[in-house]
Structure 1
């Protein structure tokens, strides 16, 4: 199940790069891509949560889950700007991406090691 979560988060990250590039250029990100990005992130979180609940999860899996939940909360905050047709603060986008990357790399370390 962890391998699927990594794959889903990797695909979500590609979409996130496109979204971040739009915002960092001062443009409103594509709404449809934002929805797909959110759905992929939510799917990955559910898979991680199920893994932690079923297997107890390694400490790194729980840490990855925690980081990715924080990133998701930041994503909700960013989506609130998008829903109001405002460009999100660039710093928040960078922090969201940084926390998500940290969570993804933590999860990837579990799968690869």
Structure 2
């Protein structure tokens, strides 16, 4: 959390909440493009699940804009496992915000549904 806060120090109005199983950072700011409105960025870090079924992958990530230019590799779940965790989250959370991610992945990419369900059940 400390490192993430340091990297995102250019964002205003950070509120950090630490709970038993997750940490949350919330940023509030104005949008950069008209119409200028208040927006928020919420970053949640799950501190409970440390298990992965399919192994982790490193995905290249590039940012190029007026504020920041950089590249890195982001370590994450394989797609089918990530979608399995999102399916599980639909049942664990009060809000269904993972539903859109599932919809996009299922309509725009090739998903192995059997593998996704195996990861969901773990």
Larger fraction in helix: 1
Report the TM-score when normalising by structure 2: 0.27
Greater RCO, CA 8 A, separation 6+: 1
Larger fraction in strand: 2
Report the TM-score when normalising by structure 1: 0.29
Bigger Rg, structure 1 or 2: 2
